[in-house]
Amino acid sequence: MRASSRAIPSAEVVVIAYGALMSGVGLTPIGPLRLRAAARVALSNARRGFSASSQHGDRFQLALEPIDPVLPIGAQRLDANANATAGPEGVAFTAQPTDLAKLSDAEGYSSGALQRLRQEATMQRQDLATYLWSTLSAVGFDTALFRQRLFKLIRYTSPHYIPHPVRLDAEHCAITFLPPGREGTGSERLTPTRGRSHSEDLLTALEACQRKPTRTQLAYLTACLLGGLHGVCIQDLLTPLAQDPAVAQRVCAALADEQPKELARFLGMTGLDHAVYWQAFGPPNHSIRRSGLEAFLRAR
């Protein structure tokens, strides 16, 4: 299916967050933003876990990778009343270039480099996400070759996170940011952070907390899990935590500290008003139940 470049204005890009950026806490170091829209999304051909060592402290960060490496990652926007899905979920933000630049810099990928990619897309009369999708499709969805092409094109890459296209709603395109692993950064001279720290395999939330029982790891995990207050299904992150009551209790205490402030902080950091938020995510009591977070907190 050929990607459509008309449905989303070229000045806007849909960015899919699957970790800390799903919460107001995670967005605070970046914001305030003025996002155009937001929605929960169900991710397909994707798994997430903790792997990439952070540039911001002694912690593992979330990574997303395709289950089948020769197929693309997909995303389907969900309405506020949709039931939780079986796979991981995230949040799709519709961002203008200024906010996209902030998000890119926060992920460790130069916003200047992203602008150069946008310029290349404009020359091809495509928006950025569609251009990246076309490039990935041209190499048969081989992530390593895709990154090599990007590096050859703009002579830049990152060991932290790299923009990656996602098929959105079957006919549109979005981008997310993936931390490079064994497939490399696109440059033989730049080793991925995951490679330097020998953390290429995905860890569960519990394994990440056990290997790095630090405040920064707990704070980062809390920021990720607070996405559950907005109804994002996070069962894949929550389920392993129940195996260690002590770790689970620490997580619950951290969540309890942030929970009362999260909605106001999320609205302030995204620029969404209450009406837009309610339409996209629904009532908070439904959201926390849908995500699996309510059951996790009650079990403690």
**Mean pLDDT of successive 10-residue stretches along the chain, which has 300 residues:** 45 95 97 95 96 73 94 96 93 97 96 96 94 97 97 96 96 96 93 69 94 94 98 97 96 96 97 95 94 92
Please give the pLDDT value at position 28: 97
Residue 212: what pLDDT? 92
Q: How far apart are CA 76 and CA 170, in angstroms?
A: 8
pLDDT at 6: 47
Q: Is residue 123 part of a domain?
A: yes
User: Which tokens go with 78?
Assistant: 């969900």
Does 6 fall in a domain?
Answer: no
Predicted confidence at residue 126, as pLDDT, reads 94
User: Looking at residue 2, what is its pLDDT?
Assistant: 45
Report the interhelical angle of 245-270 vs 274-281 (nearest 10°). 130
For residue 279, what are the domain limits?
13-299
Q: Is residue 49 part of a domain?
A: yes
Identify the pLDDT of residue 195.
Answer: 62
Q: Is residue 281 part of a domain?
A: yes
CB atoms within 10 A of CB 89: 30
SS3 63: strand
Beta bridge partners of 164: 176
Residue 8 lies inside a defined structural domain of this protein = no
* pLDDT for the residue 201: 85
State how many domains the chain has. Answer: 1
Residue holding tokens 């460790």?
108
- Does 48 fall in a domain? yes
pTM score, whole prediction: 0.92
Q: Is 3 a domain residue?
A: no
Whether residue 4 is contained in a domain is answered as no
